[in-house]
């Protein structure tokens, strides 16, 4: 194995969703470097069908105050339906991931109040100093959404390589209209999800949560 391969393997293995960040912002030069690298993500016919808005500073603090209140008041607007159904092994994995998070922060499965409190931390961005909102321009659909997913993974790995952490959050797409209004986003750019990011809080119990991965044999079949 080359040094390059070993470094890349370590970056991929160490990336996981973090749910506690330090307040220290990332300097603008580093942000521009990271997002420049992410632009090398692959896409169908090099269309690069992603639009990203990064909120920091006062813009983000305003969202941190208003989004929990709006969610609790039932203020929802989603650009894409949240109607997926997990069954069988996929449901088991979903349950296992949730349980791993609750265990890390010492929340009993039956403690609905504290589970809800943990969920609501989505809307304060786990105290992260930055949030990237990832949009798909109309009239793009499933194929282009896959391209956006490859961009998001490239971005998260780049963040990891620079000593930062991230958490992709579909919950942040529940207030799409409000995000567009707050950040001045075009009406035809549709919000897929958000991603909180920054320097990880090394002392936070939630950041010890690392979920299992299926064996290669469960996901990949080789043909020759």
Cα(196)–Cα(189) distance, integer angstroms? 19
Cα(137)–Cα(191) distance, integer angstroms? 9
Q: Decide if 129 is inside a domain.
A: yes
Q: Decide if 87 is inside a domain.
A: no
Q: In CATH, what number is assigned to the domain containing residue 34? A: 3.40.109.10
> Residues 136-164: what's their mean pLDDT?
98
Q: Decide if 111 is inside a domain.
A: no
pTM: 0.96
- At 114, is the pLDDT very low, low, confident or very high (cuts 50, 70, 90)? very high
Q: Decide if 216 is inside a domain.
A: no
Total count of domains within the chain? 1
pLDDT of residue 82: 87
For the four alpha carbons of 183, 153, 144 and 89, in that order, the dihedral sign comes to negative
> Residues 173-179: what's their mean pLDDT?
97
Q: Decide if 60 is inside a domain.
A: yes
pLDDT of residue 109: 85
Cα(54)–Cα(38) distance, integer angstroms? 14
Q: Look up the domain containing 51 and give its range.
A: 19-82+123-208
Closest to 37 measured CA to CA, from 147, 155, 130: 155
Q: Decide if 217 is inside a domain.
A: no
Average model confidence (pLDDT) across the chain? 96
pLDDT of residue 48: 98
- At 168, is the pLDDT very low, low, confident or very high (cuts 50, 70, 90)? very high
pLDDT of residue 6: 96
pLDDT above 90 (res 38): yes
pLDDT in tens, 13-36: 999 999 999 999 999 999 999 999
Closest to 162 measured CA to CA, from 50, 35, 42: 35
Q: Decide if 158 is inside a domain.
A: yes
> Residues 65-90: what's their mean pLDDT?
93
pLDDT in tens, 122-144: 999 999 999 999 999 999 999 99
> Residues 203-216: what's their mean pLDDT?
96
Q: Decide if 221 is inside a domain.
A: no
């Amino acid at each position: 194995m080359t040094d390059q391969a070993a470094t890349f393997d370590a970056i991929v293995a160490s990336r996981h969703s973090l749910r506690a960040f330090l307040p220290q912002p990332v300097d603008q030069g580093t942000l521009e470097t990271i997002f420049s690298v992410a632009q090398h993500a692959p896409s169908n016919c090099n269309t690069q069908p992603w639009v990203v808005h990064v909120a920091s500073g006062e813009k983000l603090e305003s969202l941190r105050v208003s989004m929990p209140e709006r969610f609790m008041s039932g203020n929802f607007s989603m650009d894409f339906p949240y109607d997926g159904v997990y069954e069988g092994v996929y449901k088991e994995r979903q349950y296992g991931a949730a349980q791993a998070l609750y265990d890390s922060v010492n929340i009993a499965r039956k403690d609905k109040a504290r589970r809800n409190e943990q969920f609501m931390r989505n809307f304060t961005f786990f105290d992260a100093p930055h949030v990237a909102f990832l949009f798909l321009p109309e009239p793009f659909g499933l194929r282009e959404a896959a391209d956006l997913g490859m961009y998001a993974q490239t971005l998260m790995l780049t963040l990891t390589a620079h000593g930062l952490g991230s958490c992709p959050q579909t919950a942040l797409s529940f207030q799409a209209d409000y995000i567009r209004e707050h950040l001045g986003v075009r009406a035809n750019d549709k919000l897929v999800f958000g991603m909180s990011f920054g320097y990880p809080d090394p002392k936070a119990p939630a950041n010890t949560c690392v979920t299992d991965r299926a064996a290669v044999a469960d996901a990949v079949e080789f043909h020759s």
